[in-house]
Amino acid sequence: MEHQFQGQEQTLQRQGHSGFAADWSSDQRVFKRVSWGKAMMWVLLLSDTFVFACFLVAYMTARSSTTAEWPNTSEVFALHIGHQNFPLLLIAIMTFVLISSSGTMAMAVNSAYRKARAPTALLMLATAALGAAFVGMQAFEWTKLISEGVRPWENPWGAEQFGASFFMITGFHGTHVTIGVIFLVIMARKVWRGDFDGIGRSWLSQGNGDYEGVEIMGLYWHFVDLVWVFIFAFFYLW
Amino acid sequence: MAQLSQTAEAQPKAASDDHGGQQHPIRLYLLVWGLLFLLSAASYFVDYAGLQGLLRWSLILIFMALKAGLIIAVFMHMAWERLALSYAVLLPPLVLIGLLAILLIESDYTAATRLVEFGTR
């Protein structure tokens, strides 16, 4: 068996837009030096981008076409602590928690490529814990809003479409976070056991010291954080 | 036979040392982490300070774009991928601007007909 990147060296020497044209017109695989696992994860994330974009655009359409007043998110998501009212406080904390989980994930990828198994597994578990904390706070937020009378078809403060948009967007994002947490735990266990250093591939790991699976897991996790950036801006802050 | 086992040994080494060139210093990750914290704090401050109108919207969009850019470029390693992959992922979402524009025009029309029909605001 020849090297898997054989025949690509010539096109790989070209950089920038010349390289872009060469890669796409080379009559070979387009994404050179990119494993299929990573390429397919990017395809998944691209399609997911469109799913979330559809939700956000639908929300914007509903919001700008309704004649009723849109509920003031700053007040709806405020927290009462003592005698003070902090606007959007829980959402801000959730944002920082998710960003921190992205930070620990990035460091897990770095450790994985150094083949430091224990730090990689622990950092991935820390990422999973922060993700679980995020979902927990989201569950708290849902409970609070539902108890205040928010439903997909009505709410006490204004435009009826508010509830449907909120549950749909945050629910779909929370599902993504939950799936990420589950896979982080599975992958952390496999890293800890040494599956990535073993001979031959298994589910989610290539073996032979190839830790790219951790980077691919990281792509998914950072994407979840990325989507939250847009939800935070368009749904909560706007 | 000996030759075969030699290539079989060489194969995993090539795969594991390659990483697609995505081994980056921890300092860089920590820097981006800090920047993301700052930008999030800044966008939260926009709400906390109660800024309104064009200033509010432009600041929200600027902080959002910067955060998204940092996550994609550094955390997701897009800055180091070849353009063939970057363009395949980053260009298609641009059509969403068209979708947004079409639906905002449509929703303006819907809002107008609702005002005429129900006459409230």
Q: Is the pLDDT of residue A5 over 90?
A: no
A25 found inside a domain = no
Distance from CA of B6 to the nearest CA of A (A): 11
d(CA A156, CA A4): 61
Please name every residue paired with A236 in a beta bridge, in sequence order, or none if there are none.
Answer: none
Q: How far apart are CA B27 and CA B47, in angstroms?
A: 31
> Is B16 in contact with A57 (Cβ distance < 8 A)?
no
Alpha-carbon gap: A59 to the closest alpha carbon of chain B (Å): 11
Residue B30 touches chain A, beta carbons under 8 Å: yes
User: What's the rounded Cα separation, in Å, for the pair B12 and B28?
Assistant: 29
Q: A138 and A174 in contact (C-beta within 8 Å)?
A: yes
Give the pLDDT of residue B9: 40
C-alpha distance from B42 to closest chain A C-alpha (Å): 11
Nearest to B107 among A19, A61, A95 (CB): A61
User: Does A151 fall in a domain?
Assistant: yes
Instruction: Provide the CATH number for the domain around residue A169.
Output: 1.20.120.80
Instruction: Name the percent of chain A lying above pLDDT 70.
Output: 97
Q: Is the pLDDT of residue A29 over 50?
A: yes
pLDDT band at residue A203 under the 50/70/90 scheme: confident
Query: Which run of H or E residues covers position A144?
Result: helix A117-147
DSSP reduced 3-state for A72: coil
pLDDT for A163-174, tens place per residue? 999 999 999 999
Residues B41, A41: Cα–Cα separation, whole Å: 30
A4 found inside a domain: no
Take residue B17 and report the two structure tokens written for it: 């040392």
Torsion of CA B75, A113, A214, A56, to 10 degrees: 10
- Please name the member of A46, A99, A223 whose beta carbon is closest to the beta carbon of B36: A99
Asked if the structure places residue A186 within a domain, the reply is yes
A8 located within any domain: no
Domain ranges within chain B, ordered by starting residue: 2-81, 91-121
User: Whole domain around residue A172: which residue ranges?
Assistant: 31-237
Give the total number of structural domains in chain A. Answer: 1
Mean pLDDT of chain B: 85
Contact map slice: A 64-83 vs B, CB within 8 A: 64-67, 74
Q: What's the pLDDT at A206?
A: 83
Q: Is any Cβ of chain A less than 8 angstroms from the Cβ of B21?
A: yes
- Evaluate whether residue A158 is within a structural domain: yes
Q: CA torsion, points A37, A40, A41, A46, in degrees to nearest 10?
A: 160
Nearest CA distance, B44 vs chain A (angstrom): 7
CB A205 within 8 A of CB A196: yes
The answer as to whether A216 is a domain residue is yes
pLDDT in tens, B30-83: 999 999 999 999 999 998 888 899 999 999 999 999 999 999 999 999 999 999
Nearest CA to A108 out of A126, A123, A127, A129 is that of A123
In contact, A206 and A196? CB cutoff 8 Å:
yes
User: Which of A11-15, A84-88, A225-229 holds the top average pLDDT?
Assistant: A225-229
Query: CA–CA separation, B59 vs B54, rounded Å?
Result: 8
Tell whether A120 is covered by a domain.
yes
- Report whether A32 contacts A11 (CB < 8 A): yes
